[in-house]
Structure 1
Amino acid sequence: MSLSEKAQRYAQLVAFGTLAVLAGCQIKPLYSDGPSGKPAKALASIEISEAGDRVEQEVRNALIFLTSGGAGEPKNAQYKLALSVTSSIKGVLYDQNTNDDNTDTAGAGRVVVSADYNLTRADTGETVRSGNRTSVALVDFPEQEFAKVRASRDGEKRAAKELAEIIRADLAAALGR
């Protein structure tokens, strides 16, 4: 056997080995219906608990939209999601003006929205996934009071939407297993 024949034989063995290794790989999108349709269909069959306040309602509405693809709440839910959301607004930068009443005025802040959630099977009550997630939105506080209120609400809305996306990814990963 000549040197070129040995090199050709070696190249064939390497190519065959590479193909054998790649044949074992599977790549599938996390949110696709796939052959079984499990993650996407299971997400669409999640019933989400009622909200207690405005921020929790923002998270709930975003989750309903994200899990159902805009179709709304399911009629026959296979899963139940107990959701508890809290939010807080904190000033992080202070203007150290020397004014008459000697108070500090927040110039920027952050909105922190946290959620505890528990996903259970509707028929057995078995916990599928539970967790705690947090989202932070940065806000600027202008001098006007109404503008401060609007900035805070806009920050809560942004943080709530981001939190819903994080929770949806958690649920999709849990249901995709």
Structure 2
Amino acid sequence: PDPFFVLATQNPIEYEGTYPLPEAQLDRFLMQLSLGYPTPEQEVLLLAAPSNREALANVKPILDNQTFEALKQLVPTIHVEQTILDYIVRLGNQTREDQRIRLGISPRGNQFCLLAAKAYALLGGRSYVIPDDVLAVLPAVYRHRLLFFENLTTKQKDAYIAVIVKKVQPPMRRS
């Protein structure tokens, strides 16, 4: 059905019976989100919560399909200045030139970064993208695409993405 999308989960410890996806397949996922562990307070609530079946029965949608489709149609209309496009490309190029990175961001990764930044701007109530939109989505878009020479945790990858961001000057605001 339309919309169709895939949510996949990965346990970083137990790979038995599964194989890591090749880079070309990973590149087709828009984002990789990392939830981490709950806080102690959240974990207490989790333990006190009803069973999974009961909880699932109580899940309420936050968007109906019509609203989702309307938002989806708006994303391509979000304005992007040339300076933002240049910024996304410069960030991607920085990953391709970095000596610690074996495989940097692909052109598809840059396309997904732009798409995610547009959606983020829309959800922020704006009809245009700002550098902060790009930075907000960058870790989730880059995290699974960057291949380092060493095996890094999600936190280490995010820290290194922050280093890359600091090396690239964001566009300046027009007066």
- TM-score, scaled relative to structure 1: 0.25
When Rg is computed on C-alpha atoms for both structures, the one with the higher figure is 1
* Larger RCO (CA within 8 A; separation ≥ 6): 2
Whichever structure has more helix as a proportion of its residues is: 2
Whichever structure has more strand as a proportion of its residues is: 1
- TM-score, scaled relative to structure 2: 0.25
